[in-house]
Structure 1
Amino acid sequence: MRFDVITLFPELFAPHLEVGVTRRAYVDGKLQLQLWPLRDFAEGNYRRVDDRPFGGGPGMVMMAPPLERALDAVHAARVQAGEGTGAGHRAPLIHFSPTGRRLDQALVRELAAGPGAVLLCGRYEGIDQRFIDRHVDMEVSLGDFVLSGGELPALVLLDAVARLQPGVLQDAASHQQDSFEDGLLDCPHYSRPEQLPRADGGVDAVPQVLLSGHHGRIARWRRERSLELTARRRPDLIAAARAAGRLSREDERFLQALDIEPKP
């Protein structure tokens, strides 16, 4: 799987390749990352990639010609590497924008199972809309807030995709218990020591069911904690799971017994 990143700041990606568990994805070749510094495709002595917006207003707009030259180089390199055989088989171009689809685990799984993508990291006030209309296949947002550029969202996406690659996590089943994998928030987790002293002289103990060795009870306890946490903090996810038929009768009985007041 290969990701190509068009960016003004390729140096921001270096730490991601060198530390953490997802480093294995790059060392083992499960994920290939090629960085394309946008100024390499700008013209003139100043290597300009932006200009004032037509119609006036604050900020600068990234110009289409340097972006198109960079994208042409990306496609040519992918074809040469056997990653595509023409326009009909080109990797999707993803642009990070507040106006895009919210990045969620479903989209991460979709991308993790594909051939990769070209990631466009915008800066300044935005990108010339003509380039977006011509070339962008998908716009992706991290949420309802604004960042200085697309590099951080690109790193988030790469990290989320990398950890789903086989052999990257030490336990192959680890990501299957993550939040959102089944549409719900994850349950609480505990480790040693069994009792954690408090400042008032008491202790906070690990729930006894987790020490019981009874796998069925442990699984049910984790499911119920996941349901409770999701119902209290993200009732929209409960509604979505219910609509998709992912809640069992036992789940529904548990949720009914919680008697959580609906949010206004």
Structure 2
Amino acid sequence: EIQKLVNFDLGISPKKLEWAQSEQLANAFKKIKWMAPPATGLIPIGEKLVEKALKKLLEPEFVMARTRDPKVYKGGIPFLIEVGIAYGGNAGRETAEGKKMEIMRFANRAPLLFDAGSCVTTSAINSIDWKRYYVQDLENSPLSIFINLISTHVPYTSAGKQSIAEEDEVNEEIRFAAMQILRDLQIFLGGKRRAADQAEKKRIFEKYIPETAKSLSKLTGEKEEALIKKLEKLVLDRFGKDFSKEPEEEKEEVEEGEASEE
């Protein structure tokens, strides 16, 4: 299968490999879909338990968790990533300026309390285009992001074991897990935004109903009270339905578009 992805004979001696051929070979390895490593030693918390814990702790408006399939880094060390995202409610950390985003970092279920700036979890989360998911200001959003790295050998940055080293495979898995959840958060926030827009339009129309009815009454001779009732019904028919739900076809388009990132 690898031979199909390179334009030279794999039987060539490694000593004779040119730089361009080495790059081809490295890229070919990345494109191969390898069998997932054995996960017997990797015990995740589980999506349901992560969601249950976040709900109980934060009482959020939105919560979701994802557990990725096992992967390897540095050629053979197995690991897997769990990510949970909670939005609204008590999510985020309280500061004098208001709610701020927080990343709850764990390695093999043990919390990592220091050196967040040098941790791969932080760089992975910051590398995502959050505005695409209707989170306009990540740092000042009511978000709690739970990340748990499970591995037989956690790549800590130091002996203090408070920060996870920058491994490309780990970074990528955190991003993918987060983006899987963000598809649904995007739909949730989009629904909230549409509902708020419709509520504001409804409020504006209702504000001018009395004046409109009064003017129409003078023009048509119809009673003002009857016109008010008709106008109120028109506004209710137009803005009374639930705009917070996104059509199914729109959701499918979002999912298809996001799949290309993975």
* TM-score (ref. length: structure 1): 0.24
TM-score, reference length from structure 2: 0.24
Of structures 1 and 2, the larger Rg is shown by 2
More helix by share: 2
